[in-house]
Chain A
């Protein structure tokens, strides 16, 4: 009767872990700023569909194309006739609908997608503090909108610089017109991006975010229309606070009045309420930022 155990006289099963060169990373690590900066750059690219499929590029670049086209047409008109149909600042105002549409498409791409796919825990388990995420996204969207407006403005400037008469002096005057207008474009960017991003951060479905942002902006314009025809002059002058686009135009006409002012039906009269507009704009942006921070504090913990 052979005993199976006698056969298994080999020693305890031996084991060896081979060194295939796997090491923990001991080298220098970059800081929180690098993390936030990378998120910023990535978000900026996402807003324009870079690094994603061709379909994601259609809408953003369509809008870029339209604004660029308008700028090119303005340059051509100026070159041919010397007329200036729209100044740099007025260009920013004229493009306001396109800006709304751009924000309505880009903001959900930035935040709604992350909510839907549930990757926020992945983000927040990195050496990045909680506010960094929404602030980086906001900064990216602001930059994107500013580029959307500022790029064509720059194009208009270059066109003007080559065609204007009067040598360097005239070019210098153009530059002095351009710089505040770039600032004005930045103002549009800050207000619209803040409002749009807050709305988009409320839902994970891009369709709702698209519709919601558009609906909010569209709803407010008729309110301004009604308020501006009410019999009280004060109400008329304050009416433009009700909608983000007229709010920014109001601030612009206070800060840059000679660049923005137009005669005729497009102009808005805000009387002496310029500072009020600026204060409300600032409060709006601050509220949106606080809401964003609060939103991501809650979501991160869920």
Chain B
């Protein structure tokens, strides 16, 4: 179990503040670092990986500072955003070199395992220069995993991957996270984060805007109404009855059904069955229509 801790971390370049007073603790499992482009995700990741010094604050892995401390790399793997990789080597040579640089006892076996993990066994002896973007990405992930790190940092890892590769990578990250490793990956694509992790750190304009389970975050935003899509046996009747309910802010009816905007999640969910029962309306479907991360994200960004 390894903890990655950031305490009051800020980083500025002259007048531009890239990261503004971020405090967070990352524990075992998969965490998504979510934010629009230019929010400071890469800057934050580079500070965590020891490639950038914070202008203020501390970044520690299990208590040890990450800056100017090559020893952290024994337990930390980084997959950076830049695609760069030594194109004159083959994937096997590259991962093997990584294993040797980590001074692993059985470097060849570790390299083979890592390459199998990312499904690159077939192409491993070809030059990296001949690979597609997704293959290069997977090679870099293999090199970052070869020493079995406790902490894995990935900067936009799904860039350039096709859907099948993406699924495979997500599965891999899940398994690693379930095994107790601390995994952080950054993305600006909501679906990716939604599918891989329930825990999210949202960073907007250099500030940490929200942390934790995204459904909980959503629920905490009580000043925005929750939106539900309801299909029932008698939409209009239900709509009229719901409008009389205090926790309901608005009701829309259209061809697809009923859309209800509720101000108070708790009261509404308790009141709806009672109202439906009283009106004799059968509710066929009740879906929160904005539970996805997208609405969290856009609400946070617009906030």
Contact = CB atoms under 8 A, between A and B. Distances in A.
Do A and B touch each other in the complex, judged by CB within 8 A? yes
A7 B255 contact: yes
Nearest to B257: A4
B253 interface: yes
Contacts, number: 16
B235 A2 contact: yes
B255 A2 contact: no
Contacts of A5: 255
A8 B234 contact: no
B234 A4 contact: no
A8 B233 CA distance: 17
Interface in A1-34: 1-2, 4-5, 7-8
Nearest to B233: A1
B15 interface: no
Contacts of B71: none
B256 interface: yes
B259 to A, nearest CB: 12
Interface in A29-76: none
Interface residues of B, number: 9
Contacts of A2: 234-236
Nearest to A4: B255
| Chain B interface mostly | mixed
A8 B235 contact: no
A1 B233 CA distance: 7
A8 B235 CA distance: 14
B162 interface: no
Nearest to A2: B236
A1 B231 CA distance: 12
Contacts of B257: 4
B254 A4 contact: yes
A7 B233 contact: no
Contacts of B254: 4, 7-8
A7 B254 CA distance: 7
A1 to B, nearest CB: 7
A80 B257 CA distance: 99
Nearest to B234: A2
Contacts of B234: 1-2
A8 B256 CA distance: 10
Contacts of B255: 4-5, 7-8
Contacts of A8: 254-255
B256 A4 contact: yes
Nearest to A8: B255
A1 B234 CA distance: 6
B235 A4 contact: yes
Interface string B254-288: 11110000000000000000000000000000000
Interface string B233-244: 111100000000
Contacts of B233: 1
A7 B234 CA distance: 13
A54 to B, nearest CB: 15
A5 B255 CA distance: 6
A4 B236 CA distance: 9
Contacts of A7: 253-255
Contacts of A4: 235, 254-257
A7 B235 CA distance: 11
A205 to B, nearest CB: 15
B239 to A, nearest CB: 10
Contacts of B253: 7
A4 B255 CA distance: 5
A116 to B, nearest CB: 15
A37 to B, nearest CB: 38
Nearest to B236: A2
Nearest to B258: A4
Interface in B214-240: 233-236
Nearest to B253: A7
Contacts of B256: 4
A242 to B, nearest CB: 37
B187 to A, nearest CB: 27
A2 B235 CA distance: 7
Nearest to B237: A2
B280 to A, nearest CB: 13
Contacts of A1: 233-234
B281 to A, nearest CB: 11
Given A1-B234, A4-B254, 5 more contacts: A1-B233, A2-B234, A4-B235, A4-B256, A7-B254
Interface of B: 233-236, 253-257
16 contacts: A1-B233, A1-B234, A2-B234, A2-B235, A2-B236, A4-B235, A4-B254, A4-B255, A4-B256, A4-B257, A5-B255, A7-B253, A7-B254, A7-B255, A8-B254, A8-B255
**CB-CB nearest 4 A-B residue pairs:** A4-B255, A8-B255, A2-B236, A7-B253
